[in-house]
Homo-oligomer: A and B are copies of this chain.
């Protein structure tokens, strides 16, 4: 061990300063990749499903594994108690503690804080997985397992990046902090309050926040500079006091389903445009600069179309399609609760039906305004029907969008790191989905944020057969190593 270290130092000296040891670091990664895969296998084996309360002990164990791993690197590691979770039945259960860690404390250095999560979406073999979702399985270089890409491998890749510097005794170019949570998949319960509480302590010396909880758009690496928000609505129409037999009673009451479908149908035109008055007014204009970014993005319309399996997409050119995916709002109707949704042919007049729909909103839409626009519109349409039924509209999630300036030095550092690790230019992309914690970090800490994904475009997050490719995992680790170097080049404000 000692002899190896000496050899490595000699090697470093031979490599010269200009490369800051990148070649050695990548070689270190390559020679340790089986250990990294094994580490991922151990983490994936923990069924850290944050939505399933019966798995809570697994989730706690998962946080302990994160602590062990970080402590092994000699960091200053803490488990932060973020309180209790209230369950629907009124009982409470402990939230998984948030793990924080700190490596390096050179006040003149840049300090980055890496955010990640180690909880996962539910998964069962019976859902249609080809492999046991909690037994990481390598098939042709793809590592299949729940949480592999979302977000266990990226968290491990960041830890391994720090470990590589340490193992080679190369000074970390920046101070690195970690904040790893276990409730992301169910809404990061307790995290916003913890960030608020530690704003002037843990976060006080953080310069930048890095999130690697997303994926590339294609096989080309990407930097992500925006996410859409999510305004999630429940629209409930209530009529009779209980479900009625549609034969016995059909014809005597205005049915809640008829009313609900009637008002839902006023929200979206057949071509997918939003018809709710005012919604589009606040959407920021598509600038020429922005348009230019889109031109350079590697995106194959045909393979996207084939991947999601439709004959025709909503837009026929790349820019329009991506813009509508990322920077224009959309309305999706997810389903109706309380109606008959099982297989078979039940003849029921459902008494109370609740539509679930959401608006992915974008800058400069304000969730509070969206809530009023949607609520007013639906009540106005409902009033026109003169129905004796009752309508209630509630916005149950109002997560804001997040947008960074892709010209910020953080993104210049990202480009340089991608160039170094992959010898190519990254795509500058946005994310159609919502990562609420990005906006929380921005609003509370007022730090700049970059999303630096290493997940593949086809990793199947939240779906069956989620995977992380060996390529993305290992080369992604190298990217993180490079990024730590590049971000250090930014002149501190």
Binding site for B on A (CB under 8 A): 228, 230, 232, 239-242, 244-255, 257-259, 261-262, 264-265, 268, 270-272, 304, 308-315, 321, 324-326, 328, 330-343, 345-351, 356, 358, 360, 384-389, 396-397, 431-434, 461-463
Contacts and interface: CB of A to CB of B under 8 A. Distances in A.
A141 to B, nearest CB: 23
**Smallest CB-CB A-B distances: 6 pairs:** A241-B309, A247-B433, A335-B339, A335-B340, A341-B341, A312-B388
Contacts of A312: 388
A339 B340 contact: no
A356 B335 contact: no
Contacts of A242: 308-309, 463
Contacts of A348: 332, 334-335
26 contacts: A240-B309, A247-B431, A248-B325, A248-B433, A249-B308, A249-B432, A251-B272, A251-B325, A252-B324, A253-B310, A253-B314, A254-B270, A254-B271, A254-B272, A257-B335, A258-B270, A261-B333, A270-B386, A270-B387, A271-B386, A335-B340, A335-B341, A335-B346, A337-B341, A345-B397, A346-B356
Chain B CB count within 10 A is highest, among A245, A251, A259, A463, for: A251
Chain copies in the assembly?
A: 2
A345 to B, nearest CB: 5
Nearest to A259: B270
Contacts of A240: 308-310
Nearest to A349: B332
Contact of A265 (B265, B308, B313, B345): B265
Contacts of A262: 265, 270
B337 A343 contact: yes
